[in-house]
Structure 1
Amino acid sequence: MRALDAVAVRQWVDACVRSLDANREDIDRINVFPVPDGDTGTNLLQTMRSALDNLLRTPVDTVGAALAALARGALAGARGNSGVILSQVLRGLAEATQGASTATGGSLRRALLRADELATAAVSDPVPGTVLSVLHSAAEAARDCASDELGDVVTAAAGAGATALADTPRQLAVLARAGVVDAGGRGLVVLLDALAAVITGQVVPPAPAGPPVPRDALTTAREAGSPEFEYEVMYLLDGTSDAGAERLRTALGALGDCTSVVGDGADLWTVHVHCNDIGAAVEAGVEAGRPHRITVARFADQVTAQASRFTRERAVVVLVDGPGAAELFRAEGAVVLEPGESVTAADLLAVITGTRARHVTVLPCDPALREPLDDAVAQACAAGQDVVVVPTFSPAQALAALAVHSGSRRAGDDVVAMAEAAAATRRGEVAVSEREAITWVGRCLPGDLLGMVDGEVVLIEPGGADVGALACRLVDRMLASGGELVTVLLGRGAPDGIGRVLEDHLRVAHPEVELAAYDGGQRDAILVVGVE
């Protein structure tokens, strides 16, 4: 599609309603900010249904008129903070295309930038890591897109929105602790994906039938604000001006909190406040214009989303370097993080909580991760997750621990079995010395080959020596106290054929021992060895 017209807008909003319907429960489930009230998906769906209803009842023949009808319908039916923000996104799209019969790539670029401005202005205290961050990234990607083709602009915006959504747990600690992305941002990505699908000609599948969306009730969950205020008052307002709306906003601010007075760019405003004096909130609206569709709800203050944040009972998280080793652990059902050079407590917390598991066992594989891992575990436990770190100082020990993992055992018994398996595995490495040092077996220089057992240097060879010969000597030393299985992970710097060298050596020197060699791809060690 080279240009967006009124028919395409109708197709888009229909696809949005179907996609939000399909994703509503998942979005509600991850709704933890600013309060875990579990209704963001429901609010977005109700708001978009109101927008669609108004579009269907309004004769339109241009893209600007169609988007204006959507914005007005969304504002009239906005539910919650997320619904208000969505109404302003649609208003931004409408303003940027006002009077236009169709929208091109350039029009969409301007529309998203205007939507970003209005949505940000609608929030009194914008917070990074929310739907506003996702929208801002999408708008910037559209602005920076080198092509003016409509499909290229919308694809860039949708892709950037998805990337920004994945990054929200790093920006907002409450999301990282819960192991979720921002619910409002997730809803916006659904809408952007639907728009991209319509423009590029993809098919948006119909939503499965689900339970009915709850309508207005006498009680509501508190989305934000102080528990000092007992009621949520909302109404539509017309017959006022921008200055009148600003005076109303000030008056409501003196009565309560979570105040918003936002418009559709024409003559309709939606008003929202948390307060105790319902009459005063309505009277302020009467002084500003003509309030109608007044709704009042008492806060139930029942937080249920926390109970549903866990989607499974058990998970094992492995922190391991090297793509080969990572795939090896993933094949065994573990959740894997490759820490890299600058892993933080936030990175570790995100992967632990991201498992959505009630009980998490962590296999760190590297003692250097202890400090940030301790911080991440403390935060996850404080948020209600059961997290245990099994002492594993090498991928070889982690493999041994994972081999005895069983989801059918009690969580505590399973952790004990994994810890015992790891402790019974001797760990060794062949690595290259990075600096001059004094070891138990003498001085090593930069570039020397080191053979290590349980973290101590036991063999030193000058740089350029035969790695295979050193590896064989190291394995012999590790098998001196017995063993039945030797596991070897080949690092990025391992010479070709070294696995065959070890196999031939063990066949002659230790025919009773089994060898398992894998391509680990780790950066720091040429070989990682485990003996069980």
Structure 2
Amino acid sequence: MRSATNIMNVLNGQVWKQMMVAGARALEIKKHDVDALNVFPVPDGDTGTNMFLTIQSAARDAEKILSDSIGEVATAASMGSLMGARGNSGVILSQLLRGIAKGFDGLSTANSLQVAQALQAGVDTAYKAVMKPVEGTILTVSRETARGALTKAKGGGSLLETLQEAERKGLEALARTPDLLPALKQAGVVDAGGQGFLIILGGWIAVLKGDTRVGDNLPNLEKTSAPRVQKTQESHETKPGFMQIESLEFPYCTEFLVKGSNLRVEQIRQDLTDRGDSLLVVGTPEVVKIHVHVKNPGKILDYAIQWGSLHAVEIHNMLEQNENMAHAKKTKQDSQEPVPDKSITEEDCNPWKEYGVVAVAMGQGIADVFQSLGADEVVYGGQTMNPSTEDLAEAVRKISSRHVYILPNNGNIIMAARQVKDVVQDREIYVIPSKSIPQGISALLNFNTEGEAETNIQNMELALGQVHSGEVTYAVRDSQYGTLDISSGDILGLVEDVIVTTGQSLLDVAQSTLEKMEWQTHDLVTIFYGEETKQEEVERLRNWLSEVNPNVEVEVHPGRQPLYYYIFGVE
């Protein structure tokens, strides 16, 4: 750790790196406390976890930079946060770090005024990224921290004094968030995203104070990496004959940084397009990050070194990583009837197609439905397990399509999905803002593989409003919601993400929720039942629907989703 005296006078890249790591570790300690600051008493409080995974990704990429330039380290942290962003709070955090990196661009070191200006640039970037900014959130808290920092820095404050004033103003703003958002006041909590941001800021301040205790008892960031949310390959592995190890054409996952001057990102991307798959080339004229799957990593490195110096080179043999999975798959196949090989067609030789679809699903049964309706890739995620921008980008890159539609199927995933356009630039990405599983299915049913891209967008977005969505879950704490007195463990019914009914009986709450959705005035009720819902409960609900109104068609599917006993679609 550098001395506090040096740190307080000027900030360089290595210190900023330490601050990123400290911020991540501070939030790791407090992430579950932040998760608990959930307006709804439903089991989906994941703001702290999402923000931690986002800042953890930023810290991990920052740690790979050896340069003392704060501009270079901040750029790497920004890129890491972009790739690791999860949930709305994580995406906004990534935008704050993106703006901060812009503020540090071209700087080797930063004084207190430059740091304050970078914080303000982060706030400006975050506000622009949100279509309809809402006050009383992380946006408000970050804005007030930047204002506090600017005031102190302009008055001659040191780096430490500047960030301490930023924290003080942020805490004042956080305390006011319930006055700006009635839902916070009713739940008796402050904004979770704002709290998470201030915890990260506290980690930064600890570094400036020379406090080495932040996270010292925690394992390395590399070792605390959360498991991938995306499990697309697992869903395919239930299909005999889907993939053999020897079919992996590009077995080496190769990732590294190139540092130089006047690096041409677009030219590098174009030159590497035909040399492998899962290509990612992003960065600036000074630092470029390259990720690609290839046959011969040496050739890629030989090409890249012509542009500048190579750093943080990582090469993984995916054949070796897949051996255990393939062995397990073969064991399973041996117990099944053989599946005849398909003849090679002209389409197999030219796999690129016009359109592809990525859908997010929160259960294997729901994933199976999306795949049966034509989704090319399914990313596992939903409440409490929001996929990152990188998870979604990897799914997009697996599809050999010029135009790819993403169905987030959750309001907390839409922002991360929209960032995929910044990561995957060799395809046209369209995000259909589906907020629920029924909306996503309705949109996919209105997708036409022969239609024009814009026509598909219009039809799919129109379909979102043609279906009503409901859920049945349980309360994780005592609370007051509107006129409802809710006790921990109560069964809750939600319609369009609003709690409308509560009770002790699963059947009673399910019936009440469907009544609130006015199911009898529609033609179709679709039910996805969860992994903890007993079959007899499902049959009781199905029989009730048939008895009350046999003219309404009812479809029942084993969604196998966690946390939610039922997901309803009424149309």
Report the TM range for the smaller structure's normalisation: 0.3 to 0.5
Q: Which TM-score applies when normalising by structure 2?
A: 0.44
Decide which structure has the larger Cα Rg and report it. 1
- Return the TM-score normalized by structure 1: 0.46
